[in-house]
Structure 1
Amino acid sequence: MKKKKVPILREIITKSFFVIIIILAIYTFGQIITFWIFTDEYEKDLLKDRYREIVSLSNNISTEISEEGFRDHLKTLNSGEVDEEIRIYSKDKVYYQSKSDIWEDINYRYIDNDIKIETKILDFDIYMIISADIKISDSNYIIQVVRENDIFKEFTENSLPIFIITLVLGLILSGVGAIYVSKSFVDRLKKLTKTMNEIKENGIDKRAEISEANDEIDKVNIVFNSMMDEVQDAFEEQSRFVSDASHELKTPLTALQGHLSMLKRWGKNDKVRLEKSLDICLNEVERLKKIVNDMLILSKAENENIDLNELDKINPKDIINELIYEYRILNDKVKYIVNIEDNIKIKVKADDLKQLLIIFIDNSIKYNNKESIEIKITLLKEEEQIKLEVKDNGIGIPKDEINNVMKRFYKVDKSRVNNNSFGIGLSIANRIVNKYKAKIKIDSELNRYTTISVYFNL
């Protein structure tokens, strides 16, 4: 059977009230037990004093007092206001026993040179019993003195009603307090719920209110606001991505449509125009292919998770040298300066490391207006990390643009027409670096250099 859900307000009040009842009950019984322990020790001391008094009197029998006088004195001990009963006995006979029904519930005890004090509850009353040796007229006996714990009895009789009234009053006040605190807590949760509904209906600009208390609810609101900021950033970035991707795709498609329409109307008989238009169309198709390929690589980098514990270390030196060899074949005018520290290994997939280097080197060549292009690649250990650095002598990046260059489709110079640049490369590099919990840093100065550093953990 499915359990019926209880409203959170009622659940909080019920649990709070239950906890308060337990606390009050523990406190009340703790006070009673503490007082009982105190009175218990006090009654034990009285019993010991009574025992010593009787022993002292028994030692004076035949010198200062007769046995009959000793018995008369014992009778006077339980004839006053103090409820005390005395019994003296041996294995053979009972020497003295006060007249009381209590002896029916108290057993004879036979001990040897010892004093035994015990507690016994009879008819809901607490009694203290001392059993010890006593010598009377050269004969050995056992004496038992029974004393009711009058102090604790009077305390419970007089104070228990006050305790009960205080407990009930405390429960009532605690219940009211629990309702107030619980309602205040739930009201703040309702405010957060209201904010969520407003976001759902009106958009993601609304945020939860943060009070000056900075309590746990405020911390939840802060986390919620932070989450909504990230969601809003993601929406805005996604919107920019769609807009920029549409723009990048629209340019080659427009060119293709224009040239194909022109060829259909009059370019089929003009061989020169036909050849030129077909070359342009092929270039635009290649451009579309590269855009789509870069977007697929970016999507893969965003969705792929890497378990560094299951990844083997690779030797990056061979990959770097092989890639530079391929670039030199394509363009032998670029100068490469390579500085790789010996015996360095990195936990990274070979394809990912190669993709990073291709992006960095392509950008170094693409954004360079010098007659002599120079690219310096450095790989070395630095403290507890391995640093991969690619530095060029290109056009550089403005300081206020460095934080933006890793955004998708972002271009520093938006007026530049470069069919091979889509602003995706560094975004792909950033996603690859994040997969390995590494860090990427860019340093640049206009018309002088750009340095991209990647820090891998050892």
Structure 2
Amino acid sequence: MKLKKRPIFLEITKNSFFAIILILTIYTVSQLVVFWIFIDKHEIDLVKSRYQEIINLSNSINIEFSEKGFIEYLERLDYNENDEYIRIYSPNELYYQSPSEVWQYINFDYANQNIHIKSKSFDFEIYKLITGPIQINNSEYTLQIVLENEMFGDFIDNSLPILIVSIILGLILSGIGAMYVSKKFIYKIRKLIETMNEIKANGLNKRAEISEVNDEIDKLNTVFNSMMDEIQHGFDEQTRFVSDASHELKTPLTALNGHLSMLKRWGKNDKERLEKSLDTCISEVERLTKIVNDMLTLSRAEKVEIDLGNINEIEPKIIIDEVIEQYKILNPDVNYITNIDDIKVKIDPNDLKQLLIIFIDNSIKYNNKNNIEIRINFKKISNKMQLEVIDIGIPSEEINNVMKRFYKVDKSRKHNSSFGIGLSIASRIVKNYNGEVFISSELDKYTKVTVVFKQ
């Protein structure tokens, strides 16, 4: 049978209550222990003092007073101090013994030169017993003094009612305090739950309140708000991505629809118009294919997890030279300047080739000059591999946007047929290798894309 769980309010109240009770109990017991230690030391000092007093008197017999006077002094002690009892004895005789029933619980203990102090308990009373040697008229005896520990007993008797009332009051206050702490905690949790429900009902704009206390709940709210900001950003990016992708797809689809409609009406008999329309349709289909392929490439790059331990080292110079040769055939007016160290790097050749193609494509597309110069550097700095692609500059204010999907710096550029998704793919590939992409730029002077691989 499943046990029914208690509400969190009762659970916190119970735990807080027991925690406060435990602290109160430890504090009370500690106070009693400290007081007991103090009383015990005080009783030991008293019994030692009485023992020394009787020893001094026994040494003065026949000097200041007679042996009879010594006995009378002991009797007066019994009469004045009903909680103190004295016994003097030897193996042959009992010299003196205070009238008391306590002696039936105390054995004769013949002392030599040592003094013993013990605690004894009988009839629910605690006594302090000292046993030591004493000399009377050149005869050796043993002196025992029993002192009842009345201070602690009086303290308990007088303070017990107050202690009980204090404990009861402490329990009540502990319960109230535990309920207060629980309500305060639950209130903040409920506020967070209300915020979540409001977000669920009305959208992502609501955020949890952060108080000035900055306790753990506030830190939880801070983390929650940060998480919601990231979700909001991702949602906005996704919305923009869908909007931009729809726009990019709509343009060639509109062109295709227009030309195919025109051909259906009157283009079948006009050979020249037919050829032009078909060329346009093929071009737009190729454009659609490239958009879809880029989107699929980005999607795959976002799902890939790279294990550098399973990646073989390659010579980047071979891949860079291969890509440059391909571009020289397509764009013979582009000049390439390379500076590549004789190094090896852990990266999939296809990924490095993809990065180079994206960067070189952008360098060509965002360039209005007829003679284009692109510099490619690959070097090792400390324990990091660094790829640099440098070309003509884009506006520095555009740097924060160029990594966004479907973002174009300038759609009017001469060579620009970009869909604005390439650098997003590059950024994702680099992140898969625990690397980073940095872009610096000055308009019409230079744009430098730097990829740092932490290997």
Matched, 1:440 2:440: no
Q: Does the 8 A contact of 2:367 with 2:415 survive in 1?
A: no
Residue in structure 1 matched with residue 378 of structure 2 by the alignment = 379
Whether the aligned pair in 2 keeps the contact of 1:109 and 1:131 (CA below 8 Å) is yes
Equivalent in the alignment of 2:14: 14
Looking at structure 2, the residues matched to 121 and 347 of structure 1 have their Cα atoms a distance apart, in angstroms, of 83
CA distance in 2, matches of 1:141, 1:100: 20
Distance 1:275 1:93, change over 3 A: farther
Shift of 1:342: 4.0
Match of 1:378, SS state, is strand
Give the 3-state SS of the residue equivalent to 1:99 in structure 2. Answer: coil
Show the counterpart of 2:190: 190
**Contact 1:287/1:419, CA 8 A, preserved across alignment:** no
Moved more, 102-111 or 22-31: 102-111
- Is residue 2:423 matched to residue 1:421? no
Q: Which runs of 5+ in 1 are unaligned?
A: none
**What is the match of residue 454 of structure 1?**
451
CA contact (8 A) 1:440 1:455 kept: yes
**Cα distance between partner residues in 2 of 1:385 and 1:190:** 49
State how far apart, in whole Å, the 2-side matches of 1:89 and 1:317 are: 110
Match for residue 30 of structure 1?
30
TM-score (norm 2): 0.90
Q: Residues 265 and 169 of structure 1: is their aligned pair in 2 closer, same or farther, counting only changes over 3 Å?
A: same
Q: Distance in 2 between matches of 1:112 and 1:267?
A: 137
Q: Which residue number corresponds to residue 225 of structure 2?
A: 225
Of 98-107 and 357-366, the range deviating more from structure 2? 98-107
Question: Does the alignment pair 1:40 with 2:37?
Answer: no
**Separation in 1 of the partners of 2:24 and 2:310?**
56
Give 1:349's aligned residue. Answer: 348
Q: Distance in 2 between matches of 1:70 and 1:361?
A: 119
Range that drifts further, 18-27 or 284-293 = 284-293
**Is the aligned partner of 1:361 residue 2:357?**
no
Contact 2:341 2:378 in 1 (8 A): yes
Change (3 A) 1:264 1:160: same
Counterpart code for 2:368: N
1:313-332 to structure 2, matched below 5 A, reads 314-332=314-332
* More moved, 264-273 vs 327-336: 264-273
Indicate the larger mover: 7-16 or 42-51.
Answer: 7-16
Alignment of 1:176-215 (within 5 A): 176-215=176-215
Is structure 2 residue 280 aligned with structure 1 residue 280? yes
Q: Which string of whole-angstrom CA distances, capped at 9 and with x for unpartnered residues, describes residues 47-72 of structure 1?
A: 11111122223333455555554444
Aligned mates of 1:215, 1:128 — CA distance in 2: 54
8 Å contact from structure 1 (residues 128, 147) kept in 2? yes
Q: How far apart are 1:335 and its partner, in Å?
A: 1.6
1:297-316 alignment runs, 5 A limit: 297-308=297-308, 314-316=314-316
Aligned mates of 2:76, 2:290 — CA distance in 1: 117
Uncovered stretches (5+) of structure 2, i.e. residues with no partner: none
Is residue 405 from structure 1 mapped to residue 388 from structure 2 by the alignment? no
Q: Which residue is 2:158 aligned to?
A: 158
- For the residue of structure 1 that corresponds to 2:214, the secondary structure is coil
Task: Give % identity.
Answer: 62
In the alignment, the residues of structure 2 paired with residue 320 and residue 108 of structure 1 have an alpha-carbon distance, to the nearest angstrom, of 106
Q: Distance in 1 between matches of 2:14 and 2:206?
A: 34
Work out whether residues 367 and 413 of structure 2, in 8 Å CA contact, stay in contact via their aligned partners in 1.
no
What's the TM-score once normalised by structure 1's chain length?
0.90
Aligned to 1:75: 75
Bigger mean CA offset, 48-57 vs 59-68? 59-68
